Amino acid sequence: MKNILNETSEQLKASEIITDFIKGQGCTKVFGVPGKSVIPLVFSIDEKEMEFVLSRHECGAGFMAIGYALQNNTLGVAVGTSGPGGTNMVTSAAQASAFNAPVLFITGHPPLKQSGRALSQDSSVFGTNLVDVFKPVTKFSAKVESEDNLHLYLQHALEKAMSGPKGPVHLSIPSDILQKDIISSQMNYLKVEDPIISGNISKFFSMLEKAYRPALLIGKGAHGAKAYPEIQRLAEIWNIPVMTTPGGKGTFVSHHPLSLGTLGLGGAQAASDYLENGIDLLIVIGSKLSDMSTASFHEDNFPTKVIQFDVDSTFVGKSIPSETLMINGDAKKNLQHILHYTPESPKKITFKNETEIEDVLNDHPSEDNEFLSAAKCMKLLRSLLPSETITYGDDGSHTFHALRHFSVCKPGTFFFDDVFGAMGNGIGLSIGAKAASPNKIITCFTGDGCLFMHGLEISTAVCQNQPVIIYVFNNGMYDMLDKGMKTIHGKSVGVTFDTEINASELATSLGAIGHRCFTEEEIEKATLQALEEPHLPTVIELMVQKDEMPPIELRFK
């Protein structure tokens, strides 16, 4: 750590200190919903010429802060008032943790001098103790007890958010402290130095030299490390085939000769076939190896050995019962070190991919010809959207169709969480990402169930003049639940909507552009119009079949 002291001695309000701190991290937009206890901070954000983005729900603000942090490669910030404002953000904090997104959640708190009295929206130990509520889903959660320790708490929160496995942090700040004067020279900023290289690199070379049928399995952590070129180079030098986890989709291009597609839930046949024929060394980069990622594994196809790159050792060696070597630390830095010391003539693995990565479309043909096939829609959208389009997959059947049928043309252009999986998160993430990169094409794949939960955030995009494109796959139900219940129990209960949503009309009512599509021609026309729209978000509703089985059969075994 490098200690950098801010030498000025100007006296500022605590709210100004916080705003300067946020701005100093490269964050120019803050997402949230105002409330009495955070008004001084909201005013300070406005006065410092930062933008306070008003969300429609505090959870949506947290999702937007995640998308902003991931896209801007910096700190994201979400603000909510005391009591319910804070509890509304807890789900998005848990989602930030699953993405290892460095998001600072700031919640209000009644004045300290009133603690112990009966107060509305109390966040103290006498009410809803937000510090304790946030602890399980953040790396650090604390209440600022005095203006004298505000600097240290901000400093500690930043260290926790940005170092090691990155993640969310939370500060509860009483409203009277926000208005106190503080000498700004007390502020210390810490710059995290380059991560340490793992001591197991030599063992990595030894194990790879002995391998005869290895494979790379790339997870969501490779997105955070931005290790795309290093992964591709490693694969090409040794001729190692590459699979991604569901959350790792987007880290490796689909049509590379070494690509086997996605492994696990929603996975490609090519990846499954390679696994079934035996792997002696599995090199895992940036994955916890959750049940969705390991759904294709069973007792007869476990790899002989595993090398696992991860910045967090919590789950290393616990999902696959194989001899495991951990490469601890930042994946990009460790891979760069490996590539630097790779022999000039490394042993080339004998591999040629002869299996189609994307499965054929008629695996589970539907009898419903009145509505669209979600699988076919994914292939169509890939042909319509430019290769550089950045897509956020929401949690539901629609994204599992995308895992199998929506190919990745450039690394870093597809994001999906296969760990926490809050429905509706993709809507907020895509809006936050668009706020960070207004000149990039940002899309979201979501469903009608997700839209019911967080669809009103479309209004936020309207007011921000963000032409994000949101595709809503609508079949009138919670589709994964419906298919799961029917597969396991023979019937489904409580998963269909008696009155189905009209997403295009909802979008129009919120000031966005809405299209309802029953044909591929309508999808093409709506998409081309959306790509030309300079200001407003576009919601393109795809009316898809109710009985089409998504590629999630492994979840039911």
pLDDT digits (tens, 9 = 90+) for 484-507: 889 889 999 999 999 999 999 999
Residues 6 or more apart in contact with residue 369 via CB below 8 angstroms:
none
Picking from 541, 400, 523, 405, the residue whose alpha carbon sits closest to that of residue 474 is 541
Question: Of 213-217, 340-344, 531-535, which gets the smallest average pLDDT?
Answer: 340-344
- Spell out the residues 6+ positions from residue 187 whose beta carbon is closer than 8 angstroms to its own: 5, 6, 17, 21, 151, 154, 155
Q: What is the predicted pLDDT for the residue at 548?
A: 93
What CA–CA distance (Å, rounded) separates 409 from 175? 48
Question: Tens of pLDDT along 177-233?
Answer: 999 988 775 555 556 555 678 888 989 999 999 999 999 999 999 999 999 999 999
Task: For residue 554, report the phi and psi dihedrals to the nearest 5 degrees.
Answer: -60, -25
Cα 316 from Cα 477, distance rounded (Å): 37
Q: What is the DSSP string of 331-372?
A: HHHHHHHHHHTS-SSPPPP-----S-SSPPTTSS--S--SSB
Query: Looking at this protein, which amino acid is placed at residue 308?
Result: Q
Cα 371 to Cα 307, 546, 548: the distances in Å are 45, 8, 10
Q: Give residue-wise pLDDT tens across range 231-278.
A: 999 999 999 999 999 999 999 999 999 999 999 988 899 999 999 999
Specify the DSSP element, H or E, that contains 181: strand 181-183
Closest CA to 167 of 224, 89, 251: 224
Strand order in the sheet with 169-174: 51-54, 29-32, 76-80, 103-109, 169-174, 140-143
What pLDDT does 375 receive? 95
- Per-residue DSSP letter, 198: P
What is the three-class DSSP state of 105?
strand
Give the angle subtended at the CA of 275 by the CAs of 271 and 279, to the nearest 5°.
130
The CATH number of 2-191 is 3.40.50.970
* 164 class by beta-carbon count within 10 Å (0-12 exposed, 13-18 middle, 19+ buried): middle
Q: Are strands 29-32 and 51-54 parallel, antiparallel or unpaired?
A: parallel
Summary mean pLDDT of the chain: 90
| Residues ≥6 apart with Cβ < 8 Å to 532 | none
Residue 186 CA, distance from chain mean position: 35
Return the percentage of the chain with pLDDT > 90, whole number: 72
Q: Mapping DSSP to helix (H, G, I), strand (E, B) and coil, where does residue 402 land?
A: helix
Average pLDDT estimate for 418-430? 95
274, 260 contact by CB (below 8 A): yes
- All CATH 3.40.50.1220 domain ranges of the chain, comma separated, are 201-340
Using CA atoms, how far apart are residues 495 and 537, in angstroms rounded to an integer? 29
Whether the predicted pLDDT of 1 surpasses 60: no
Distance CA 494, CA 482 (A): 9
Q: Which of 274, 256, 252, 251 is nearest to 264 (CA)?
A: 274
201-340: CATH architecture: 3-Layer(aba) Sandwich (3.40)
Give Cα 176 to chain centroid, integer Å: 35
**What pTM, to 2 d.p., does this model score?**
0.93
Neighbours of 352 (CB within 10 A): 8
Tokens of 180: 């106190």
Q: Phi, psi (5° rounding) for residue 336?
A: -60, -40
Give start-end residues of each CATH 3.40.50.970 domain in the chain.
2-191, 374-556
State which H helix or E strand residue 316 sits in: none
What count of other Cβ atoms lies within 10 Å of the Cβ of residue 169?
28
What spatial distance separates the first Cα and last Cα of the chain, rounded to whole Å?
48
pLDDT tens digits, one per residue of 360-413: 665 556 666 789 999 999 999 999 999 999 999 999 999 999 999 999 999 999
In 440-508, beta strands by DSSP E: 442-447, 469-474
Question: Tell me, which fold does domain 374-556 have in CATH?
Answer: Rossmann fold (3.40.50)
Per-residue pLDDT at 32 exceeds 70: yes
Radius of gyration of the chain (CA): 24
Secondary structure letter of residue 193 according to DSSP: P
Averaged pLDDT for residues 78-105: 96
pLDDT recorded at residue 313:
84
Element spanning 130, H or E = helix 130-134
Tokens of 557: 């075994």
| CB-neighbour burial class of residue 137 (10 A; exposed 0-12, middle 13-18, buried 19+) | buried
Assess whether pLDDT exceeds 70 at residue 34.
yes
Output the pLDDT for position 6.
47
Per-residue pLDDT reduced to its tens digit, 425-436: 999 999 999 999
